[in-house]
Amino acid sequence: MIIKLLVAAIAIILGALTQYEMEEDILLIEKKAALSVNRIKAFQLLSDMSNYKHWFPGVVDFEAVDNMNIALGKHYREHQHWFFYGTLEYSYVITGYESPRYISFVSNSWWQPRIEIVLERRDGSDKAMYPTSVTYRMFTRRKSFFVNYILVPLTQLSHSSKPNLFHFIFAVI
Over residues 151-155, the mean pLDDT reads: 70
- CB-CB neighbours of 56 under 10 Å: 19
List 87's β-bridge partners, or say none: 81
Mention every residue, 6+ apart, whose C-beta is less than 8 A from residue 125.
none
Tell me if 134 sits within 8 A of 166, measured CB to CB.
yes
Q: How far from each other are the two terminal CA atoms of the chain, in whole angstroms?
A: 63
**What superfamily would CATH give domain 24-172?**
START domain (3.30.530.20)
pLDDT in tens, 63-92: 999 999 999 999 999 998 877 778 889 999
Q: Does the pLDDT of residue 120 top 50, yes or no?
A: yes
